[in-house]
Amino acid sequence: MHSPEPRSGTGLVLLAPGGLADPAASTHLAALLGLRALSGPAGDPAQQLAALADQPSGWLLPLPIDPGQELSCGGCWAEALGAWRQPALLLIPTQAPAGAPRAYCALLQLAGVPLLGLVQAGGTWSPQTRRRDGLPWLGWLPAAQPDQPLAGADPADEAAVALLAACRRRWRELSAARPGELLLDPPGAGDRPA
């Protein structure tokens, strides 16, 4: 796989074990973080990431395939994201295997991807258990009810407020660690109080 000149990220790529299967989760996260939801990429990662460099700042791009899946053009999305220094957010569904959070964090770390953190999708949130994991958990997206919008869509909702605050804090930490590379304001900075 061709290694491009590293570029600044102006948005976040949303990753999930096996690929993002729930479009409602990416729409909900984009709204919560104050980012534009883009449609998932197809094709060569280098071409897709080059096209993203031309996008106006403030987007969230869900990756519909597993970030570690071998591609026909060689390599995988995790390697491309690391080469481009593209920040990513990892969504972990509650039905994911127990080792998935650690395995995907290790994959992304090995590839050099600036990982904003992990978000649990659905299930019951247990902050104590997540702290024991020792992984960069940001929070929880409650599951949607069949006839209701996703819980947490109201910024006053406790889970949404906590997730937004954690994402902002982590974005500032990533930005401080990589001065001049992460030009995007923290997610949601323009429309909600910190």
pLDDT of residue 120: 92
Tally of domains in the chain = 1
Give domain status of residue 190, yes or no: no
CATH code at position 164: 3.40.50.300
Give domain status of residue 1, yes or no: no
**In the chain, pLDDT over 70 holds for what percent of residues?**
79
Separation between Cα atoms, residue 51 and residue 36, nearest integer Å: 15
Give domain status of residue 186, yes or no: no
Q: Please report the beta strands in the chain, taking only residues with DSSP state E, as ranges in sequence order.
A: 11-15, 36-37, 59-62, 88-93, 115-121, 137-141
Residue 122 has pLDDT above 90, yes or no: no
- Please choose, from the candidates 172, 181, 189, the residue with its C-alpha nearest in 3D space to the C-alpha of residue 138: 172
Residue 194 has pLDDT above 50, yes or no: no
Residue 57 — pLDDT band, cuts 50, 70, 90?
confident
Query: Against a cut of 0.95, is the pTM above it?
Result: no
pLDDT of residue 65: 92
pLDDT of residue 115: 95
pLDDT of residue 191: 47
Give domain status of residue 126, yes or no: yes
Give domain status of residue 2, yes or no: no
Separation between Cα atoms, residue 167 and residue 146, nearest integer Å: 27
**What value does the mean pLDDT of the chain take?**
81
Question: Which range of residues forms the domain containing residue 127?
Answer: 11-177
